Structure 1
Amino acid sequence: KPITTGLITLLCVPWLWADIRVIDDAGELLVLDRPAQRIVSLVPHATELLFEIGAGDLILATVTFADYPEAAQALPRVGDYNALNTEAILALEPDLLIAFTSGANLAQINRLQALGYPVFTSDPQTFADIDRTLRQFGELTGRQHSANRVADAFTADIARLVERFGGKRPLQVFYQVWHDPLITLNGETFISKVIEVCGGVNVFADLLAPSPQVSLEAVIGKNPEVIVTGPSDAGEASRWHQWPQLQAVVNDALIATDPDTLHRPVPGLIKGATALCEAMDQVRERLN
């Protein structure tokens, strides 16, 4: 009877006999012999995703700007995009590091990996990537059921936005990430995909760099119908009023977005996407 009970236990706890194998966003295979229990999350979106799937209790520390949900604000900080406190990370004895695919701290991450610490790099750029990342985090933490539920809900929410807005009159959109210098996004980024969901066309979708710098002359040449900016450069206070010949100015289509709800590849971007889609729809109504 004890032997039988032991066999049943082994069968009910798959990680006791099967490795966890996932491919990260750098194309590298990560193999764990059991779900991670001591995670250091070195990117804000990964911290939020882990909390989303019910694995926030496994995070030992995170980085600057990992401020959502509220529980994440109580976590110790071990650096940021530019530099890490490797001594603090080593003292935590993590069994998984989640890192970004680039950044000034990449050399430090590589050294930690060389010391034997498992590293999963995460940089989701599409809705499908966000769905996949949620499910992978579920595998890595043993929280597959909740991760699959969150991923299913996110993908369903995107589908509802597509059904509601995707077939409407296309609007030519310039998305301003930063004003000085002017930074935008190309068509491969998830924010550009949000613009498409809203029935928009990213006027700089064909640029090669994900976050390219563009000139004022290039924007004026594209003459977008809508300009999307941060809160400080929209509405009556926007500097774009200096160029009244722009369609976006004529259309009163200088739309402000909340970076906290749109600039992270997490399920919470549905809120920001819905707000953007509705604002663009108001522009359509004025143009009809």
Structure 2
Amino acid sequence: MADTSVRVHAGPRLRRSLGRERSLVRVRRFCAGLIPGLPAILAAGCFSSDPDSGQASADGVVDDVGHVHALHSPRTRIISLIPAATETLVEMGAADRLIARTRYDEQAELAALPILSGVLEPSVEAVAHLEPDLLIMWPTGGDGGAIGQRFVQIGLQWYGAAINTVADFERHAANFGELLGLERAADSVVAAVRRDLAAASESWPGRVGAEIVYVVQAEPPMTVGPGTFLDSIFSAAGAVNSFRDVEGNWPSISMEQIIWRDPDFVVVPVEGYGTPRMAPGARDPSADRMADLFGWGKVPAVAAGRVISVDASLFGRPGPRMGEAARYLAQRIHGR
């Protein structure tokens, strides 16, 4: 979700060609890096979780692809290929049960673990060699789900999690709690996120919600749709999603639409400098960069410097830090 710093200085034809290629690369990076609620926006559309899936059954818990995971014994050898899920497991106190990590998992507790490459398309051989008793991954990868089928063929039943919303986060956290025998810890994590989001929403009383556009991708533009976990973070922070009426979790939009909707702020996820502490009246470090990108300088908020940089990891993962993200955004918008 991050690479908003690319500058394209080329003719229209080359720019369109580069844009299509970069679009797929950035979408893969968006899904892999923030690994949020995987909207499987790869190529055509998103994998959406079924509201009736992921529920407990008489035999165990059901994931987002319909696999039933028995509760015969607590899982102790876990691989999570979804950094948001990994953060939830660590917060539950299960860091010592993880046996590998991705390059996006930067927690100190996991530093000594081997790194698995290919978050969306992991090496079946490398995963199988580690003999996990719980493998958490996206319901579909860049290959249309063939990776998951290969795991099934070798007798490794994987847990599919599409975490698009706060409700999805809560549901999967509860499932992880049951699978690990850490039900109380899972309940505590969920309760803490609810408290943090509520606290963020109480930090701007009497203020009017500001219209924002969140830049999932700058070229071509992609943003956040209604109902996603980011949309919930916006609401808690006193922000109104300018594209709340557009279908899809992560819709593609046009520069003309952005200019016409005239948001109060443009929010830009970045890598490298986190959530900067900004003095009142200071110019955001992403303001000039956004103004230089094709078309964005014509957006009134960008032209006026009303750009808010946010940490791509913090804002890209539906996990224990969602309240922290909401508090930061509220402070940047409302000054408190």
TM-score between both structures, scaled by the size of structure 2:
0.71
In the TM superposition, residue 183 of structure 1 has moved relative to its aligned partner by: 1.6
**Counterpart Cα distance in 1 of 2:115 and 2:312:** 22
Alignment match, 2:286? 234
Q: Number of matched residues?
A: 265
Alignment match, 1:7? none
SS in 1 for 2:105: coil
Aligned mate of 2:137, from 90, 93, 99: 99
Preserved contact between residue 177 and residue 186 of structure 2 (Cα < 8 Å): yes
Preserved contact between residue 44 and residue 63 of structure 1 (Cα < 8 Å): yes
In the TM superposition, residue 33 of structure 1 has moved relative to its aligned partner by: 1.7
The percent identity for this pair of structures is 30
Return the letter of the residue paired with 2:326: A
Alignment match, 1:273? 326
Q: After TM superposition, list the pairs within 5 Å mapping 1:150-189 onto structure 2.
A: 150-165=189-204, 168-189=207-228
Alignment match, 2:170? 131
Q: Which moved more, 1:23-32 or 1:86-95?
A: 23-32
**Counterpart Cα distance in 2 of 1:26 and 1:168:** 42
**Counterpart Cα distance in 2 of 1:158 and 1:136:** 22
Preserved contact between residue 177 and residue 229 of structure 1 (Cα < 8 Å): yes
Deviation readout 1:213-257 (Å, 9 max, x if unpaired) = 221112111111111113487234431797676442466421111
Preserved contact between residue 167 and residue 199 of structure 1 (Cα < 8 Å): no
Preserved contact between residue 77 and residue 97 of structure 2 (Cα < 8 Å): yes
Alignment match, 1:5? none
SS in 1 for 2:213: strand
Q: After TM superposition, list the pairs within 5 Å mapping 1:40-59 onto structure 2.
A: 40-59=79-98
Alignment match, 2:312? 259
Aligned mate of 2:187, from 142, 148, 154: 148
Residues 1:84 and 2:137 aligned together: no
SS in 1 for 2:308: strand
Q: Which moved more, 1:19-28 or 1:150-159?
A: 19-28
Q: Which has the higher helix share?
A: 1
Residues 1:63 and 2:102 aligned together: yes
RMSD: 2.6
Preserved contact between residue 233 and residue 323 of structure 2 (Cα < 8 Å): no
- Classify 1:114/1:200 alpha carbon distance in 2 versus 1 (closer, same or farther; 3 Å): same
- Classify 1:238/1:244 alpha carbon distance in 2 versus 1 (closer, same or farther; 3 Å): closer
SS in 2 for 1:193: helix
Preserved contact between residue 195 and residue 202 of structure 1 (Cα < 8 Å): yes
Runs of 5+ consecutive residues of structure 1 not aligned to the other structure:
1-17
SS in 1 for 2:111: helix
Deviation readout 1:2-33 (Å, 9 max, x if unpaired) = xxxxxxxxxxxxxxxx9861122345432242
- Classify 1:246/1:142 alpha carbon distance in 2 versus 1 (closer, same or farther; 3 Å): same
Return the letter of the residue paired with 2:249: P
**Counterpart Cα distance in 1 of 2:86 and 2:270:** 25
**Counterpart Cα distance in 2 of 1:155 and 1:260:** 20
Q: Which of these two proteins has the greater Rg computed from alpha carbons?
A: 1
**Counterpart Cα distance in 1 of 2:263 and 2:234:** 13
Higher relative contact order, structure no. (Cα contacts within 8 Å, ≥ 6 residues apart): 2
In the TM superposition, residue 258 of structure 1 has moved relative to its aligned partner by: 0.9
- Classify 1:24/1:263 alpha carbon distance in 2 versus 1 (closer, same or farther; 3 Å): same
Return the letter of the residue paired with 1:265: P
Return the letter of the residue paired with 1:89: V
Runs of 5+ consecutive residues of structure 2 not aligned to the other structure:
1-56, 272-284
**Counterpart Cα distance in 1 of 2:174 and 2:205:** 26
- Classify 1:92/1:231 alpha carbon distance in 2 versus 1 (closer, same or farther; 3 Å): closer
Deviation readout 1:132-177 (Å, 9 max, x if unpaired) = 3222211111122222222211111112122333763122111111
Return the letter of the residue paired with 2:94: A
- Classify 1:246/1:94 alpha carbon distance in 2 versus 1 (closer, same or farther; 3 Å): closer
Return the letter of the residue paired with 1:84: P
Aligned mate of 1:73, from 89, 111, 114: 111
Residues 1:116 and 2:155 aligned together: yes
Aligned mate of 1:248, from 285, 301, 324: 301
SS in 1 for 2:99: strand
Preserved contact between residue 140 and residue 148 of structure 2 (Cα < 8 Å): no
Preserved contact between residue 36 and residue 95 of structure 1 (Cα < 8 Å): yes
SS in 2 for 1:230: strand
